[in-house]
Structure 1
């Protein structure tokens, strides 16, 4: 009796690569040539640079070492579009990426097309090395990260234009956020982290390890704009007792009075969105908070931020697409929505906003970065940053999972970052969901 043929390990990878590369181009379709070079601060990058850098990744780490006879379009691109890989070589200064008007849009797209053709030829060979398969999978996830950055960076750059540019129109929702409930967990010994044998994961999600959790409760949804507006109206930005020392110093230096993109000067609070300037919808999930703001709001609420282990413990049994209310990049809304009702667990854990945790971005026990320049991807940033979980309205749902660890410096807030409250529980008390009136 003949045995059924098994699919090669890289089956479907070429199609997924093509779809991912095409979506980056789709995100740029509404943009003008002038938009493609915008960079409003050193921390963000122009859309054209994102298209070029993701192409650089495939050329540098896959085509040059693994495609015999491959000749780069321009050897100078290795310097221009290297982000931070010191093992590859020097990099063009990040704050000056907006000065790279050449290569222009057409030249970058032609380069992308030639790299895509070479990548498809490589993946369509009868035998593909496991190392190549792993690097292509990493490159796809890397491009999805840059798709999210392209959207968030563009929003920041557009926000400096008094015309409040519209990237993509959208319909506002008239949905109402459900009352805030608490999902309680008894704690105990659990495991967190990813197992690479179960599918793709970044190295910073490993190794899987044991973690002890004390009893805790997690809010049924992230905080809304209306709840955060109550914090502002109660003097939240003027009360030093609510702020960490570094957060209060940031507040005094920046003079912040509300989340990024908010304007409180008119009769009605408003914010800039990628659909233009809109009145703040109190039912929507609040976004563009930095770690200090999220922590101050939690203190004001009489609660705290969850640890990343608590967050993962609650999320690991839930599907990424947990309901029609979840917002991801593929719905082209580019703005957090209104949370739906929770059922099996907390709602809106994935999508809409990245959720700050109380955990510093540090290596898991036994972590070891990969060898070579690709090992610089995550490990060297494990210092002075905080972990966020869950993904946002600019994330691809297939890119997310419960073990995914995003990380950001605590003062930054141009990502779609929000806050979900948590609190500790008395040990031994039976879990009973409660409702905040």
Structure 2
């Protein structure tokens, strides 16, 4: 006999409702600077329109929680089930991802009406009904899922705006960024070899791909004290880095030739000067700031050119725990700072925030990993093929969403996310 899940305390239930409202409001605040025309844009198959992100995150709560949990709940619109399903094939055939931008209807106004209806139903559920640990877990998963889409919303609209010849800004930076003449000097930090614990211990929320916690034997290694800068990457370009096949993996060299790659995604050269497109518009390239929007091939080629390598995800995690500080999240350059771009290191490690960091590790399951048998089990496990792991979060990752054990993953050729490089090496 299966026993019912224990109920959470009224204090935890109230906190859950408050967090739900805060995160949902944050998503809409990120959409505020955009027009209805902006929200319709889909600039490539990997990206999605802003209005699709707004709807899909609501679909998640409706599909996995409200339809099964709130008595008498009626779905907002049956047709939404197909067009706002992302990749949950066990729930039916999703609408074609590359064609999301062709859906002019429902309108932006109708999608915001959908969000309000879902929010009202979720408020009734969390405010009036009893919440057990299973429901709490689903809500927390849904909120972390929404925070992932907050980041995707920004990277996707950045790519869309970058295609416009006028290079319009999403929004002016409102953070406390400072222009810095130089980045902090790069230092090498040695980490002793041995058997280390890897993965989430399950004490707080984590995605299923962050566990189970397991032991990993690592030789001694060293890791850079900060991210690679624009100036350092510019030296790679000036030295003909994009023209030297021996620096590149075979698939990477094929990517260089197929795309005629000469520089990172958002770099622009005008009259001999380098600029970069940011969420705040086109700005002069700042040499001291971290290089970003690099794909795995570019990150690996740079590391080879520099005479080093990328860290494994296990090395990265061990080093991150060793270097963490009590105020790490408060000082990190994350979404709440509204800087909209990575900033130069003042001497901090930058292990959380600024840019996601490519590792040399393939995205594979940890020993003992099993995806759940229900539809939610499609969340991560089925993507454990042909992708590479990134760690650390970026300047547009929410501060209560990132943690050291977090495993992000993308295909090696993808660069529209805020992805950068930290060097590593062996201790001989």
* TM-score, with length taken from structure 1: 0.93
Question: Which residue number in structure 2 is paired with residue 350 of structure 1?
Answer: 352
**How far has the Cα of 1:274 moved from its partner?**
1.1
CA contact (8 A) 1:49 1:97 kept: yes
Confirm whether residue 261 of structure 1 aligns to residue 266 of structure 2. Answer: yes
**How far has the Cα of 1:227 moved from its partner?**
0.3
CA contact (8 A) 1:320 1:350 kept: no
Confirm whether residue 174 of structure 1 aligns to residue 174 of structure 2. Answer: no
Find the aligned partners of 2:234 and 2:402 in 1 and give their Cα distance. 30
- Provide runs of 4+ in structure 1 moved above 6 Å: none
Q: Deviations over 1:79-123 (max 9, x none)?
A: 010000001111111111111111111111111011011111111
Match of 2:369 among 349, 367, 380: 367
Find the aligned partners of 2:392 and 2:326 in 1 and give their Cα distance. 9
Question: Which residue number in structure 1 is paired with residue 158 of structure 2?
Answer: 155
Confirm whether residue 195 of structure 1 aligns to residue 201 of structure 2. Answer: yes
Q: For structure 1, which runs of at least 5 residues remain unmatched after alignment?
A: 427-437
Confirm whether residue 415 of structure 1 aligns to residue 417 of structure 2. Answer: yes
Find the aligned partners of 1:264 and 1:184 in 2 and give their Cα distance. 38
- The 5-angstrom pairing of residues 2-401 of structure 1 reads 9-170=12-173, 173-175=178-180, 176-196=182-202, 198-317=203-322, 318-319=324-325, 322=328, 326-342=332-348, 347-401=349-403
The CA RMSD measured in Å over matched residues stands at 1.5
- More displaced, 321-330 or 349-358? 321-330
Residues 255 and 325 (structure 1), Cα distance of their counterparts in 2 relative to 1, 3 Å cut = farther
Find the aligned partners of 2:32 and 2:353 in 1 and give their Cα distance. 23
Find the aligned partners of 1:279 and 1:321 in 2 and give their Cα distance. 31
SS in 1 for 2:36: coil
**How far has the Cα of 1:8 moved from its partner?**
5.2
Find the aligned partners of 2:9 and 2:105 in 1 and give their Cα distance. 47
**How far has the Cα of 1:51 moved from its partner?**
0.2
Question: Which residue number in structure 1 is paired with residue 5 of structure 2?
Answer: none
Residues 214 and 11 (structure 1), Cα distance of their counterparts in 2 relative to 1, 3 Å cut = farther
**How far has the Cα of 1:323 moved from its partner?**
7.1
Q: Deviations over 1:373-400 (max 9, x none)?
A: 1000000000000000000011001101
Find the aligned partners of 2:272 and 2:393 in 1 and give their Cα distance. 33
**How far has the Cα of 1:264 moved from its partner?**
2.7
Q: For structure 2, which runs of at least 5 residues remain unmatched after alignment?
A: 1-7
CA contact (8 A) 2:14 2:127 kept: no
SS in 1 for 2:400: helix
Q: Deviations over 1:317-351 (max 9, x none)?
A: 51585277631111112111111214xxxx10000
SS in 2 for 1:393: coil
Structure (1 or 2) with the greater helix fraction = 2
CA contact (8 A) 2:17 2:123 kept: yes
CA contact (8 A) 1:325 1:338 kept: no
SS in 2 for 1:277: strand
Question: Which residue number in structure 1 is paired with residue 4 of structure 2?
Answer: none
Find the aligned partners of 1:62 and 1:278 in 2 and give their Cα distance. 44
Residues 120 and 6 (structure 1), Cα distance of their counterparts in 2 relative to 1, 3 Å cut = closer
Find the aligned partners of 2:264 and 2:295 in 1 and give their Cα distance. 8
CA contact (8 A) 2:329 2:352 kept: no
Q: Deviations over 1:210-265 (max 9, x none)?
A: 00010001100000000000000011000111100010001010001000011235
Find the aligned partners of 2:115 and 2:392 in 1 and give their Cα distance. 30
Q: Deviations over 1:1-24 (max 9, x none)?
A: xxxx96655441110010000000
Find the aligned partners of 1:410 and 1:364 in 2 and give their Cα distance. 20
Find the aligned partners of 1:7 and 1:132 in 2 and give their Cα distance. 14
